[in-house]
């Protein structure tokens, strides 16, 4: 009896144990095992796609590449695997002059044609619910609805990428996404798996410099550059081809926020970029970019110290200037976020006659991946019929049926050639607008390999770092110190220091000091673990030439446009008793220059000015924060000044604005508010115009002079010299 009871009591435990045993058969532990395909085939090379020669096109027969990317594309539904967090708007594009000498693309050959566009901006790593201000690459995808079909220029706000071959893309994203055991951290790269991957992959060195720079923290989508990343081809009517790199140049300049500020914005308004874009368009302050191209004749393909097909390299503008050939204006917000922003489907393979591909191995993989990922994300092969994806020209082909088919096709035939339907739809000759792939000669052996011209991983990373201003260099050092400080494994930190030491010794030394460890002496050939199993590792040891170009001004934001305050947000701090005349004069002058002005008060409702006028505040200190504004002004008025001086949030507002290097202005009689801040004692006792424009703080009794100077200060964006200086060798 006792035994029977015991067996009964143990039954749940036994059942649980049986369940555990059954589940174990589904658990995979790859420790010490060979890599295989999903069907058990041992893989010899997981680092390179199969190409026609080491610089040739990627071959469709590469079943390993297709299996790997197909599985990756289908990993998550329905949210995008990458670029999930996005915002978009409609607009138009017009070319400045006829470009037919370079390309037969019709929308680039007629200055009289206005081409509709739809543009989606996005972060890369985070989910749909993450913050706009994560340190991340930003997607910059443009769909041109041309009269020859849709052309998608699917790029980023950085001109290079982490990897050279598309076969590594699933690995990159797996590494940067939240770690699979605990789903943390969200929308952040400061964790072990990402830096473990990067520390094994020297080819990422250049992109890491960009990702750790201020470019990863844009002030606004409207104030960031866009790049096509890859080298494409322009082909003219005569079949003559030139290589081309695409650029988007914002007319408001290229500006960023501070890292501490970004973290605060994420808490105050995680929709900061989305709101900024929407509000600007609603207010009629339409964002504008110029389309630029770098043209390289085919004869010059091998003239550079780097390979123009390597997606981890850029072409410095000093070597090939950017020609600005047209302008894009975003002038209409979406009507429905899901129907447009979420359902839009971009694809680098959507081209028009006159634009063609190159053998960039990352681009080649993307040509396969985009259609595949839309099939799972949008439910089937008819995603092109969703309104936001439809071309503006009629579609005629023999594709039929499928999930959610909307087109009702008439007639008997859905094949070709056919006699019953007069062989319609017919193929178009090149002279009739038919797309003809560029007639590139390929004569090579099938091989999984990386061209030796792709082996230099550090010279352009060094060029980027050397091109930054002192403040920008400091920010890169701080970012790397923060990110690697979050890494728990000391061995990963050490490997990263060894890689960074190949870029710049002073850079690595600063970060080593912050991490409290020494820079290890690891030979180059041991730093690159991304090599085929049978390869001679010394063959893959990264070359580290100096490069003939030591600095490129275009790579720094220090020289960007700083002559406008259009759409800049300015906070005016006020309370009962404020000097309404000063407030109104400054406010009106700022608005006249295109700024957006908000009055911030201790409470909402109305405040009574010194002259008894009623003023309605836009925000209270409870809902507003300095990180949401570009500059701050404190008008006079005894009672208002006394209230602000005693208000902790008002003083904090000013302290934080100063910390983030923003322009600050105050009437002379508001000096006591500034005296309550931590930074007032840091300011020079005597101020000249030169001092004001260097420090970014003006106090004046002359409202006209204050206003004129304040506007110049806001246009300068930030006063990074306020930050603690760090000596970095040039």
Residue with tokens 């985009």: 370
Residues 248 and 287 sit within 8 Å (Cβ to Cβ): no
pLDDT per residue over 327-379, tens digit each? 999 999 999 998 899 999 999 999 999 999 999 999 999 999 998 888 888 88
Q: Which two tokens stand for residue 374?
A: 């839309």
User: Within the chain, which residue ranges are assigned CATH 2.40.180.10?
Assistant: 62-160+167-172+207-389
DSSP structural state of residue 388: G
Q: Which residues contact 162 (CB under 8 A, 6 or more apart)?
A: 172, 198, 201, 203, 204, 207, 208, 312
Mean pLDDT of 552-570: 96
Sequence-ordered list of residues with C-beta below 8 angstroms from that of 672, at least 6 positions apart, any chain: 641, 642, 645
Q: Is 366 exposed, middle or buried (0-12, 13-18, 19+ CB in 10 A)?
A: buried
* Angstrom distance (rounded) from CA 649 to CA 678: 14
CATH of domain 62-160+167-172+207-389: 2.40.180.10
Closest CA to 508 of 519, 520, 516, 521: 519
Number of helical (H) and strand (E) elements in the chain, helices listed first: 20, 20
User: Given this model, what pLDDT does residue 154 score?
Assistant: 97
Instruction: Let me know: does 147 contact 159? Beta carbons within 8 Å.
Output: no
Question: Per 3-state DSSP, what percentage of the chain is helix, strand, and coil (rounded to 5)?
Answer: 35, 15, 45
CATH of 569-722, one of 3.30.70.330, 2.60.40.1220, 3.40.50.880, 3.40.50.720: 3.40.50.880
Q: What is the pLDDT of residues 18-41, one digit of tens each?
A: 434 444 555 567 778 877 777 777
Q: Which pLDDT value is given to residue 67?
A: 79
Percentage of residues in the chain having pLDDT higher than 90: 73
The pLDDT tens digits for 425-479 are 888 888 888 898 999 988 899 999 999 999 999 999 999 999 999 999 999 999 9
pLDDT score recorded for residue 99: 98
Torsion-angle region of 283 (φ positive above 0: left; ψ -120 to 50: alpha; else: beta) = alpha
Residue 689 has a pLDDT of 64
pLDDT tens sequence across 473-528 = 999 999 999 999 999 999 999 999 999 999 999 999 999 999 999 999 998 888 88
> What's the whole-number mean pLDDT along residues 721-729?
69
- Cα 500 to Cα 363: distance, rounded to the nearest angstrom: 27
Question: Which residues of the chain are in CATH 3.40.50.880 domains?
Answer: 569-722
For residue 70, what are its two tokens? 């197909």
Mean pLDDT of 304-323: 98
Interatomic CA distance for residues 346 and 366, integer angstroms: 11
CA 312 – CA 682 distance, rounded (Å): 43
Distances (CA, A) of 76 to 127, 376, 377, 566: 11, 9, 8, 40
* pLDDT tops 90 at residue 138: yes
How confident is the model over 82-137, as pLDDT tens digits? Answer: 888 999 999 999 999 999 999 999 999 999 999 999 999 999 999 999 999 999 99
Active site residues: 83, 156
In this predicted structure, the answer to whether residue 15 has a pLDDT above a threshold of 60 is: no
Angle of helix 505-515 relative to helix 490-503, nearest 10 degrees, comes to 160
């Amino acid at each position: 009896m006792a035994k029977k009871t015991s067996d009964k009591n143990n039954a749940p435990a036994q059942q649980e144990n049986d369940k555990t045993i059954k589940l174990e058969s589904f658990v995979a532990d790859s420790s010490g095992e060979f890599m295989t395909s999903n069907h058990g085939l041992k893989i010899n090379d997981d680092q390179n796609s199969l190409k026609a020669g080491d610089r040739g096109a990627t071959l469709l027969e590469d079943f390993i590449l297709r299996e790997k990317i197909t599985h990756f594309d289908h990993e998550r539904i329905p949210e995008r695997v990458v670029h999930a967090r996005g915002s978009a708007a409609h607009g138009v594009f017009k070319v400045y002059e006829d470009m037919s000498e370079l390309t037969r693309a019709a929308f680039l050959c007629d200055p009289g044609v206005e081409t509709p566009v739809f543009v989606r901006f996005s972060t890369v790593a985070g989910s749909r619910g993450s913050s706009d201000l994560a340190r991340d690459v930003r997607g910059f995808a443009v769909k041109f609805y041309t009269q020859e079909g849709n052309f998608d220029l699917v790029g980023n706000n950085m001109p290079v990428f982490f990897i050279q071959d598309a076969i590594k893309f699933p690995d990159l994203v797996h590494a940067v996404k939240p770690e699979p055991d605990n789903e943390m951290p969200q929308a952040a790269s400061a964790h072990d798996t990402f830096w473990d991957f990067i520390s094994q992959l020297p080819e990422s060195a250049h992109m890491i410099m960009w990702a750790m720079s201020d470019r990863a923290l844009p002030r606004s989508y409207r104030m960031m550059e866009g790049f096509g990343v890859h080298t494409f081809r322009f082909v003219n009517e005569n079949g003559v081809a030139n290589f081309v790199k695409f650029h988007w140049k914002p007319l408001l300049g290229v500006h960023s926020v501070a890292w501490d500020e970004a973290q605060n914005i994420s808490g105050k308004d995680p929709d900061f970029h989305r709101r900024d874009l929407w509000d600007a368009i609603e207010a009629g302050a339409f964002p504008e970019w110029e389309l630029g191209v770098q043209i390289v004749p085919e004869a010059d393909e091998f003239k550079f110290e780097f390979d123009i097909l390597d997606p981890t390299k850029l072409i410095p503008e000093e070597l090939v200037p950017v020609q600005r050939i047209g302008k894009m204006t975003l002038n209409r917000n979406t009507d429905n976020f899901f129907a447009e922003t979420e359902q839009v489907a971009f694809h680098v393979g959507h081209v028009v006659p006159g634009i063609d591909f190159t053998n960039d191995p990352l681009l080649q993989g993307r040509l396969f991946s985009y259609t595949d990922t839309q099939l799972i994300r949008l439910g089937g092969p008819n995603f092109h019929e969703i309104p936001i994806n439809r071309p503006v020209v009629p579609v005629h082909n023999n594709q039929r049926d499928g999930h959610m088919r909307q087109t009702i096709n008439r007639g008997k035939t859905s094949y070709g050639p056919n006699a019953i339907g007069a062989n319609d739809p017919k193929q178009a000759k090149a002279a009739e607008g038919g797309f003809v792939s560029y007639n590139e000669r390929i004569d090579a052996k099938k091989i999984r390999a990386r061209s030796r011209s792709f082996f230099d991983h550090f010279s352009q990373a060094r060029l980027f770092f050397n091109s930054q201003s002192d403040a920008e260099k400091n920010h890169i050092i701080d970012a790397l110190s923060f990110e690697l400080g979050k890494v728990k494994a000391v061995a990963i930190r050490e490997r990263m220091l060894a890689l960074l030491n190949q870029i710049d010794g002073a850079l690595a030394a600063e970060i080593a000091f912050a991490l409290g460890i020494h820079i290890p002496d690891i030979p180059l050939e041991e730093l690159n673990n991304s090599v085929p199993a049978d390869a001679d590792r010394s063959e893959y040891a990264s070359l580290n030439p100096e490069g003939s170009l030591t600095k490129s001004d275009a790579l720094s934001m220090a020289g960007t446009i700083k002559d406008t305050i259009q759409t800049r947000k300015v906070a005016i701090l006020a309370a009962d008793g404020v000097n309404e005349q000063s407030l109104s004069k400054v406010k009106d002058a700022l608005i006249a220059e295109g700024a957006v002005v908000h009055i911030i008060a201790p409470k909402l409702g109305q405040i009574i000015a010194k002259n008894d006028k009623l003023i309605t505040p836009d925000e209270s200190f409870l809902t507003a924060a300095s990180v949401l504004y570009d500059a701050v002004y404190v008008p006079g008025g005894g009672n208002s000044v006394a209230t602000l001086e005693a208000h902790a949030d008002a003083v904090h507002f000013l302290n934080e604005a100063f910390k983030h290097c923003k322009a600050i202005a105050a009437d002379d009689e508001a000096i006591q508010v500034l005296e309550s801040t931590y930074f007032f004692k840091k300011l020079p006792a005597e101020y000249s115009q030169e001092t004001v424009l260097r420090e970014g703080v003006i106090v004046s009794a002359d409202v006209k002079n204050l206003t004129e100077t304040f506007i110049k200060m806001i246009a300068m964006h930030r006063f990074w010299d306020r930050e603690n200086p760090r000596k970095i060798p040039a």
